[in-house]
Chains A and B, each alone.
Chain A
Amino acid sequence: GESVGLHLPTLSVQEGDNSIINCAYSNSASDYFIWYKQESGKGPQFIIDIRSNMDKRQGQRVTVLLNKTVKHLSLQIAATQPGDSAVYFCAEKRPPGNMLTFGGGTRLMVKP
């Protein structure tokens, strides 16, 4: 069935390195994508979003890339810090309506 999924359930990186978290989606009609960060004991927090008419969007230390040809979404975190350790979820919005469908999550572990 159609779904949003992740390639790697756990990613371990060295502090200071760049991190890349990947997400695959299968519904070509999805028009809006979001990355969320969830720290232990907290609700998911919005990180960055991108609409389907874009292929790249940058924030502070984070970049989201959207490849509609292969239905792939990635989150890049520059100079990863211990505070980036969390579970990261991608989500897609499929029209009509505003419902988001969430992927299964990737745990990012930052080694000092």
Chain B
Amino acid sequence: GAGVSQSPSNKVTEKGKDVELRCDPISGHTALYWYRQSLGQGLEFLIYFQGNSAPDKSGLPSDRFSAERTGGSVSTLTIQRTQQEDSAVYLCASSPMEGGGYTFGSGTRLTVV
């Protein structure tokens, strides 16, 4: 597509439930990134996929968080047993293999109640 698409745009879930957030990157972009942004805060790196290489998971805050990227395109970020502190905007970005800037999606606003 023309841009990075994320769904859903908003998600309200009960504490303890699992959620899946989806990211559809720009076609042809080999790198995909997930970030988390709490209200009024900066960008917290979560995970990075580059081509067929093993993902860089160094930013995942706990083992409740996981992500996969199927076929080198769409990515899903899964949060198991959600907690209230997981409430944030989850941003996805992609970039071409040769580097350069990221293109961000509009994010998924997750609210855990």
Contact = CB atoms under 8 A, between A and B. Distances in A.
Question: Is B one of A's binding partners?
Answer: yes
A102 B103 contact: no
Interface in B16-72: 31, 33, 35, 41-43, 45, 48, 50, 56
Contact of A104 (B42, B48, B102): B42
Nearest to A47: B101
Contacts of B48: 99
Interface string A37-52: 0000111111001000
B103 to A, nearest CB: 7
Contacts of B99: 32, 93, 98
B1 interface: no
A41 B43 CA distance: 14
Contact of B102 (A97, A100, A103): A100
Given A42-B106, A46-B101, A98 B91 contact: no
Interface residues of A, number: 21
A44 B50 contact: no
Contacts of A100: 101-102
B42 A97 contact: no
Interface in B56-113: 56, 91, 93, 95, 99-107
Contacts of B104: 36, 43-45
A45 B3 CA distance: 11
Given A43-B91, A43-B107, A34 B42 contact: no
B101 A49 contact: yes
A103 B107 contact: no
B101 A102 contact: no
A101 B44 CA distance: 9
A25 interface: no
Contact of A97 (B4, B50, B103, B107): B50
Interface of A: 32, 34, 36, 41-46, 49, 89, 93, 97-105
Interface of B: 4, 31, 33, 35, 41-43, 45, 48, 50, 56, 91, 93, 95, 99-107
6 contacts: A36-B101, A44-B43, A44-B91, A46-B103, A98-B31, A104-B42
